[in-house]
Structures are given as structure tokens and as C-alpha cells.
């Protein structure tokens, strides 16, 4: 079969790699929002707990290397490049490198499993803006959303079981799934919340024993008068404690890997909330952190799936696609009006 792509592009958010990077990085993230520098300095203090270094970039390096190795093992000689939205390696620089290397057509994989503006459409816009900066830039397609793929769900279920067992055989924890909150105006225009609820259900179906669960939100930002998805994870822990809960297991189902939002908002803030209330807390590890071999194999399978579609559309579209649950499988090419930007 002819392979219609000659490279893969791993696309991520980016993060600072040292203390001097923190404020410039946050300025990139908040560009155009008129956030005072004093406020950025307050947010930047979170990075002080980690030496001014986001875990995300190193996780992306491991993911890139693992994916390239996995593809090679499947007989696909596809170099894997990596570019970020907000920090080096910037997408434009990576696409310039790809162009210099003679890449004509690439397939993008996002470090985001769900459909939303910030998790999908904005990355597509970032790619187009970066391509516009580079003469002769390659065409870049993307793989479909993978929130319902076994390679995403099953590692989360296994990690949840590990966290539950760590509490002891007699523990009866409540599972709190968490995801990055988004403005309700953004949520109204996409399937983000529905996909997350489906992913939670799929994980619960696969853990060792049935446990009560709920979906909570974290990492909201912006002015307080703008409504975002609720409840916040800290409020959820507080509510459970008032109802007599003794233990919780946090599962960051909305995240591919344990980057800054997980490390700060869950491992520090949510853990402090639980400790203050006398609630024992454990957290499941996200599958892209190490990364889990099944997670990397999933990305490779999605790449193979898209290659098959491009090589023989009629035959490939009749083939069964790997997905769990009852929601419609996301299309290869997003509709022009999907996941619109939130109203600001």
C-alpha cells in the first residue's frame, strides 16, 4: 500500500523549560487578553514549585520518541516532528524544519483527546497560521479524536485500579474524574462534555469493582463573571467530605499526560483540600506520562487508519474503526463549523 504521508507532526501546548521562560510563556498563552503582568507573576509562582519547568515538554519528547519507534516497528518509515502552540519548539519553526527536510504531506497527532475549540479547532488554526509563515509548507492533516479509543480508555482503567488498590482492600472511595473546565459558551458549541461523560462511563465499566463516580472540573481561568463548567474539583471533594466520604481517587480523564494542570491543580491544590478535610486521596496516572505502550500503539493505529483512508477511501471507510461506547466516531476531517471559539 502506498503511504500518502511522509511525516508525522506531534502538536502540543508547550511549557517553560526554566525560570526565565515562565513569564514569557504565560504572555504567549494569554496574548490578546490584556492580563496584567502582576497577575501573570502570581500564576508563575505555581511553576516555582517545579523549578520553573513544565513537565509537558519532557513528556512530549518521550511521546515523540516512542511513537517514532512504534511506527518503525510497524514498518512505517515516518519521522515524527514536534511543535507547540505556546513555547519552543514553536509550530512555525517545526514546519520550517519539515519543509527544509522535504516533507510534502504530514499527519498531525494532538496531545488532546477531545473535541473542543481549545483542544482541537484552535490547534488546527495554529497549524494553518504556522504554515502561512513558511513558503512551500507541507499539507498537514490530523487524526480523529481518540477519547473513545481502547488505547486511551483501558490504560486509564488500569491506572484507576492501581490507585484504588493503593488505598487498601477495605477502602470504598468515590472516583472523581476531572477535566479542564471551559467556558459554558465554548461547551455549548462542541461535544466536549458529552465525550468526557462517555469516557468516564467507559473507564468505570472496566475497573475491577464498581465504585461511585462523578465528573468535576479544574484549572478554570478568566474573569469570575464568565460562567465555566462546574463543579470545581475542590468543591466536589468538600461536598463528598460533608457527606461522610473517607477516600477519593482522582482520575484526570481530560488529560493525555500529567503536565502542569495535573501536577499543580490536583497533586498540590486538590490534595491539600482533601488533607484539610481528612479525606484520603490517590490519583491515577495519565497514559501519556511515561508513556503507556498501549497509548502510543493507539496513536500508531490512528495513523495507520488515516493512511488506509487516504490510500483507498471506499475500502477503508467500510472497515470497522476501533472505538468504544455509543457516541458517533469523530470524522477524519472536522466540519468547517465545528467547535467554534467561545464568546469573549
Q: Are 165 and 247 found together in one domain?
A: yes
Locus of grid cell 515562565 = 22
324 found inside a domain? no
Q: What are φ and ψ of residue 183, in 5° steps?
A: -60, 145
243's CB contacts (< 8 A; 6+ apart) are none
User: The pTM is what?
Assistant: 0.96
Q: 323 in a domain, yes or no? A: no
**Which pLDDT belongs to residue 34?**
77
* Assigned domain for 338 exists: no
| 272 shares its domain with 212 | yes
Question: How many structural domains compose the chain?
Answer: 2
Residue whose C-alpha cell is 508563575: 44
CB atoms within 10 A of CB 327: 15
What is the residue whose three cell numbers read 490584556? 34
Quote the pLDDT of residue 244: 97
Which residue(s) pair with 217 in the sheet?
179, 232
Residues 6+ apart with CB under 8 A from 220: 181, 228, 229, 232
pLDDT for position 318:
67
Whether 341 maps to a domain, the answer reads: no
Structural domain boundaries enclosing 59:
7-146+291-318
Last residue of a domain, one of 227, 259, 283: 283
Residue 320's pLDDT band (boundaries 50, 70, 90)?
Answer: confident
- Band (pLDDT 50/70/90 cuts) for residue 313 is confident
CATH number, domain containing residue 261: 3.40.50.1400
Q: pLDDT digits over 250-289, tens only? A: 999 999 999 999 999 999 999 999 999 999 999 999 999 9
DSSP classification of residue 116: S
Task: Please report the pLDDT score of residue 58 as a whole number.
Answer: 97
Instruction: Indicate whether 295 belongs to any domain.
Output: yes
Q: What percent of the chain has pLDDT over 90?
A: 88
Same domain, yes or no, for 137 and 155?
A: no
Which residues is 179 bridged to in the sheet? 217
Does residue 344 sit within a domain? no
Choice between 15 and 313, residue whose per-residue pLDDT is larger: 15
User: Does residue 193 share a domain with residue 67?
Assistant: no
**Predicted local distance difference test score (pLDDT) of residue 219:** 95
Amino acid at each position: 500500500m502506498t503511504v500518502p504521508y511522509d511525516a508525522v507532526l506531534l502538536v502540543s501546548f508547550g511549557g517553560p523549560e526554566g525560570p526565565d521562560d515562565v513569564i514569557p510563556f504565560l504572555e504567549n498563552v494569554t496574548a490578546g487578553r490584556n492580563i496584567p503582568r502582576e497577575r501573570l507573576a502570581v500564576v508563575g509562582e505555581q511553576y516555582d514549585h517545579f523549578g520553573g519547568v513544565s513537565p509537558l515538554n519532557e513528556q512530549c519528547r518521550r511521546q515523540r520518541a516512542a511513537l517514532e519507534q512504534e511506527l518503525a516497528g510497524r514498518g512505517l518509515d515516518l519521522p515524527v516532528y514536534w511543535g507547540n502552540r505556546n513555547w519552543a519548539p514553536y509550530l512555525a519553526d517545526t514546519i520550517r524544519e519539515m519543509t527544509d527536510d522535504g516533507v510534502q504531506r504530514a499527519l498531525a497527532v494532538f496531545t488532546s483527546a477531545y473535541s473542543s475549540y481549545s483542544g482541537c479547532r484552535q490547534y488546527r488554526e495554529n497549524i494553518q497560521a504556522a504554515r502561512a509563515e513558511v513558503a512551500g509548507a507541507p499539507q498537514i492533516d490530523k487524526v480523529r479524536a481518540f477519547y473513545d479509543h481502547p488505547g486511551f480508555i483501558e490504560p486509564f482503567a488500569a491506572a484507576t485500579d492501581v490507585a484504588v488498590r493503593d488505598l487498601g482492600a477495605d477502602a470504598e472511595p468515590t472516583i472523581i474524574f476531572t477535566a479542564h473546565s471551559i467556558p459554558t459558551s465554548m461547551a455549548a458549541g462542541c461535544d466536549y462534555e458529552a465525550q468526557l461523560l462517555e469516557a468516564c462511563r467507559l473507564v468505570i465499566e472496566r475497573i475491577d469493582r464498581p465504585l461511585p463516580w462523578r465528573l468535576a472540573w479544574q484549572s478554570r481561568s478568566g474573569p469570575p463573571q464568565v460562567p465555566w463548567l462546574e463543579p470545581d474539583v475542590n468543591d466536589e471533594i468538600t461536598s463528598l467530605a460533608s457527606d461522610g466520604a473517607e477516600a477519593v481517587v482522582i482520575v484526570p480523564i481530560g488529560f493525555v499526560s500529567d503536565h502542569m494542570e495535573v501536577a499543580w491543580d490536583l497533586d498540590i491544590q486538590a490534595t491539600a483540600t482533601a488533607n484539610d478535610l481528612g479525606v484520603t486521596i490517590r490519583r491515577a496516572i495519565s497514559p501519556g506520562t511515561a508513556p503507556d505502550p498501549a497509548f502510543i500503539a493507539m496513536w500508531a493505529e490512528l495513523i495507520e487508519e488515516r493512511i488506509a483512508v487516504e490510500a483507498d477511501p471506499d475500502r477503508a471507510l467500510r472497515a470497522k474503526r476501533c472505538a468504544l461506547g455509543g457516541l458517533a466516531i469523530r470524522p477524519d476531517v472536522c466540519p468547517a463549523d465545528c467547535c467554534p471559539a467561545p464568546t469573549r
